[in-house]
Amino acid sequence: MLISIDQVLTKEEVRSFRAELDAADWQDGAATAGTLAKGVKRNQQLADGSELATRLGQHILRRLSNTPLFISAALPRTIYPPKFNRYAGGGNYGAHVDSALMFLPGSSQQMRTDLSATLFLAEPEEYDGGELEVEGPFGVQSVKLAAGDMVLYPSTSLHRVTPVSRGARVASFFWIESLVADEGERTLLFDLDQSVQQITPLLAADDMRLVQLTGVYHNLLRRWVRA
């Protein structure tokens, strides 16, 4: 399931982010890549744990906590602190799958990566190339969203970022461990929750159809949440 979420950040917030990111000290992204990924990763990243990355990342997390579509789709248990990357001058990231387990920064705690997220911070017309290509059961989906918009996709997916031939592609990226590990179960819950939200304004709060449907959602969630 690939889900686009509009306006996680407003245009004003994006401009504020970019004013700082465009003047930031970017480092070689290969330094943080795994053994296999080093050979296919050609981009720049902000230093992990830098004051700027931490502050902007915390702002993103605050916005996500108030984004119902994200909560519904991800059912987040743990979110890896957002990172920031930049692709320019032919920069790209070849086909790869994200690591299944990651240590949270400065901690011995591990998290499972169920969902990957890319929050775009450059408008599509600012750069050529730089599409996020995600392979799924129905073929390859190409994603290039407006600045401030975000895409969620399964971390199990083979994915890549195509070469940027003009301008710069700036984005934030991170991973989510969901309360519901199974992608199929999570998709069913998301579809059911969206249906409940769509019919709620049309029915009285005590309408038994709505009460029963909401009960089905919560009982499935109770069954499928992993301890």
Q: What is the pLDDT of residues 102-134, one digit of tens each?
A: 999 999 999 999 999 999 999 999 999 999 999
Q: Which tokens in the block code for residue 104?
A: 């949270």
pLDDT at 94: 96
CA atoms within 13 A on the CB side of 128: 4
* Binding-site residues for Fe cation: 96, 98, 159
| β 101-103/132-136 pair status | unpaired
pLDDT in tens, 68-83: 999 999 999 999 999 9
Q: What is the CA radius of gyration of the chain?
A: 18
Phi, psi (degrees; rounded to nearest 5) at 50: -65, 155
204 confidence band (pLDDT: 50, 70, 90): very high
Q: Which tokens in the block code for residue 79?
A: 């979110």
138 confidence band (pLDDT: 50, 70, 90): confident
The yes-or-no verdict on residue 22 having pLDDT over 70 is yes
- 62/84 Cα distance (integer angstroms): 16
The yes-or-no verdict on residue 100 having pLDDT over 70 is yes
pLDDT in tens, 38-60: 679 999 999 999 999 999 999 99
37 confidence band (pLDDT: 50, 70, 90): low
- 152/67 Cα distance (integer angstroms): 13
* Binding-site residues: 96, 98, 159, 169
How large is the average pLDDT for residues 8-24?
98
The yes-or-no verdict on residue 35 having pLDDT over 70 is no
Distances (CA, A) of 202 to 92, 108, 197, 207, 215: 47, 48, 10, 10, 18
* Binding-site residues for 2-oxoglutarate: 169
Average pLDDT of every residue of the chain: 95
**Which pTM was predicted?**
0.94
Domains detected in the chain: 3-178 (2.60.120.620), 183-224 (4.10.860.20)
- Write down the residue that tokens 């301008």 correspond to: 167
Where would I find the beta strands (DSSP E) of the chain?
3-5, 27-28, 41-42, 44-45, 76-79, 83-88, 92-96, 101-103, 110-112, 115-120, 128-129, 132-136, 139-143, 150-154, 159-161, 164-166, 168-178
Other Cβ atoms closer than 10 A to 166: 11
